[in-house]
Structure 1
Protein backbone atom coordinates (compact mmCIF):
# COMPACT_ATOMS: atom_id res chain seq x y z
CA UNK A 1 0.00 0.00 0.00
CA UNK A 2 1.41 3.38 -0.94
CA UNK A 3 1.10 6.77 0.72
CA UNK A 4 0.51 10.02 -1.18
CA UNK A 5 1.41 13.26 0.58
CA UNK A 6 1.38 16.80 -0.76
CA UNK A 7 3.73 19.40 0.69
CA UNK A 8 3.96 23.17 0.27
CA UNK A 9 7.49 24.29 -0.66
CA UNK A 10 8.49 27.95 -0.81
CA UNK A 11 11.09 29.41 -3.14
CA UNK A 12 10.49 27.33 -6.26
CA UNK A 13 10.18 29.56 -9.33
CA UNK A 14 11.11 27.48 -12.37
CA UNK A 15 11.71 24.06 -13.89
CA UNK A 16 15.22 23.93 -12.47
CA UNK A 17 13.74 24.40 -8.99
CA UNK A 18 11.27 21.59 -9.62
CA UNK A 19 14.12 19.33 -10.74
CA UNK A 20 16.26 20.07 -7.70
CA UNK A 21 13.43 19.32 -5.27
CA UNK A 22 12.40 16.21 -7.22
CA UNK A 23 15.96 14.88 -7.24
CA UNK A 24 16.46 15.28 -3.48
CA UNK A 25 13.06 13.83 -2.52
CA UNK A 26 13.42 10.93 -4.97
CA UNK A 27 16.56 9.88 -3.09
CA UNK A 28 14.60 9.21 0.11
CA UNK A 29 14.03 5.53 0.92
CA UNK A 30 10.66 4.26 -0.25
CA UNK A 31 9.83 7.18 -2.58
CA UNK A 32 8.44 5.98 -5.90
CA UNK A 33 7.24 9.27 -7.45
CA UNK A 34 7.68 13.01 -6.98
CA UNK A 35 5.80 15.77 -8.80
CA UNK A 36 6.89 19.34 -8.04
CA UNK A 37 4.98 22.30 -9.50
CA UNK A 38 6.75 25.65 -9.11
CA UNK A 39 3.70 27.74 -10.06
CA UNK A 40 1.68 26.39 -7.13
CA UNK A 41 4.54 25.57 -4.74
CA UNK A 42 3.11 22.09 -4.28
CA UNK A 43 5.09 18.86 -4.25
CA UNK A 44 3.28 15.53 -4.30
CA UNK A 45 5.23 12.50 -3.11
CA UNK A 46 4.15 8.88 -3.50
CA UNK A 47 5.99 6.50 -1.20
CA UNK A 48 5.74 2.93 0.04
CA UNK A 49 4.90 4.19 3.53
CA UNK A 50 4.34 7.59 5.17
CA UNK A 51 7.55 9.63 5.21
CA UNK A 52 9.18 11.20 8.22
CA UNK A 53 8.55 14.96 8.03
CA UNK A 54 12.09 15.68 9.26
CA UNK A 55 13.57 13.65 6.38
CA UNK A 56 11.38 15.49 3.87
CA UNK A 57 12.36 18.85 5.38
CA UNK A 58 16.07 17.92 5.21
CA UNK A 59 15.78 16.89 1.55
CA UNK A 60 13.97 20.11 0.61
CA UNK A 61 16.57 22.14 2.54
CA UNK A 62 19.35 20.29 0.69
CA UNK A 63 17.74 21.34 -2.60
CA UNK A 64 17.85 24.95 -1.40
CA UNK A 65 14.19 25.51 -0.62
CA UNK A 66 11.96 25.62 2.44
CA UNK A 67 9.30 23.13 3.45
CA UNK A 68 6.28 25.17 4.58
CA UNK A 69 4.36 22.06 5.69
CA UNK A 70 1.78 19.69 4.36
CA UNK A 71 -0.74 21.08 1.92
Structure 2
Protein backbone atom coordinates (compact mmCIF):
# COMPACT_ATOMS: atom_id res chain seq x y z
CA UNK A 1 0.00 0.00 0.00
CA UNK A 2 1.13 3.52 -0.75
CA UNK A 3 -0.32 6.78 0.46
CA UNK A 4 0.15 10.35 -0.77
CA UNK A 5 -1.42 13.61 0.36
CA UNK A 6 -2.21 16.51 -1.97
CA UNK A 7 -3.65 19.97 -1.50
CA UNK A 8 -6.80 20.91 -3.40
CA UNK A 9 -8.36 24.38 -3.49
CA UNK A 10 -11.89 25.42 -4.32
CA UNK A 11 -13.75 22.84 -2.23
CA UNK A 12 -16.43 24.40 -0.02
CA UNK A 13 -18.99 21.71 0.88
CA UNK A 14 -19.74 18.02 1.20
CA UNK A 15 -20.72 17.86 -2.49
CA UNK A 16 -17.20 19.04 -3.34
CA UNK A 17 -15.73 16.31 -1.15
CA UNK A 18 -17.92 13.70 -2.85
CA UNK A 19 -16.96 14.89 -6.34
CA UNK A 20 -13.24 14.78 -5.63
CA UNK A 21 -13.53 11.43 -3.86
CA UNK A 22 -15.45 9.92 -6.77
CA UNK A 23 -13.05 11.13 -9.48
CA UNK A 24 -9.86 10.25 -7.62
CA UNK A 25 -11.34 6.96 -6.43
CA UNK A 26 -11.91 5.94 -10.06
CA UNK A 27 -8.15 5.90 -10.76
CA UNK A 28 -6.97 2.33 -11.29
CA UNK A 29 -5.31 1.03 -8.13
CA UNK A 30 -6.79 3.59 -5.71
CA UNK A 31 -8.27 1.84 -2.68
CA UNK A 32 -9.27 4.84 -0.53
CA UNK A 33 -9.62 8.62 -0.71
CA UNK A 34 -9.83 10.79 2.41
CA UNK A 35 -10.68 14.48 2.04
CA UNK A 36 -10.23 17.03 4.83
CA UNK A 37 -12.47 19.89 3.73
CA UNK A 38 -11.13 22.60 6.12
CA UNK A 39 -7.51 22.11 5.05
CA UNK A 40 -8.06 20.95 1.47
CA UNK A 41 -5.91 17.87 2.09
CA UNK A 42 -6.69 14.85 -0.07
CA UNK A 43 -5.02 11.61 0.97
CA UNK A 44 -4.94 8.90 -1.67
CA UNK A 45 -4.22 5.30 -0.70
CA UNK A 46 -3.49 2.77 -3.42
CA UNK A 47 -2.25 -0.75 -3.87
CA UNK A 48 0.52 0.54 -6.17
CA UNK A 49 2.03 3.95 -6.87
CA UNK A 50 -0.32 6.40 -8.59
CA UNK A 51 1.19 9.23 -10.58
CA UNK A 52 0.70 12.83 -9.50
CA UNK A 53 -0.45 13.63 -13.06
CA UNK A 54 -3.30 11.11 -12.75
CA UNK A 55 -4.40 12.62 -9.46
CA UNK A 56 -4.15 16.15 -10.86
CA UNK A 57 -6.26 15.19 -13.89
CA UNK A 58 -8.94 13.60 -11.69
CA UNK A 59 -9.11 16.62 -9.38
CA UNK A 60 -9.34 19.00 -12.34
CA UNK A 61 -12.01 16.79 -13.94
CA UNK A 62 -14.02 17.19 -10.72
CA UNK A 63 -13.73 20.97 -11.19
CA UNK A 64 -11.16 21.86 -8.52
CA UNK A 65 -7.59 23.13 -8.46
CA UNK A 66 -4.67 20.83 -7.71
CA UNK A 67 -2.29 22.90 -5.59
CA UNK A 68 0.32 20.23 -4.96
Q: CA deviation at 1:49?
A: 1.4
Q: How far, CA to CA, are the matches of 1:68 and 1:50 in structure 2?
A: 19
Measured in 2, the distance between the counterparts of 1:33 and 1:51 equals 12
Does residue 63 of the first structure (1) align with residue 59 of the second (2)?
Answer: no
The answer for the alignment partner of 1:5 in structure 2 is 4
Aligned length: 68
* Counterpart secondary structure, 2:66: strand
> Moved runs in structure 1, 4+ residues, more than 2 A?
none
**Distance in 2 of aligned mates of 1:34 and 1:25:** 7
Q: Which residue of 2 aligns with 1:40?
A: 39
Residue 32 of structure 1: how far off its partner (Å) = 0.3
TM-score normalised according to structure 2 size: 0.96
* 5+ residue gaps, structure 1: none
In structure 2, stretches of 5+ residues that fail to align are none
Q: Which residue of 2 aligns with 1:20?
A: 19
Q: CA separation in 1, counterparts of 2:10 and 2:24?
A: 16
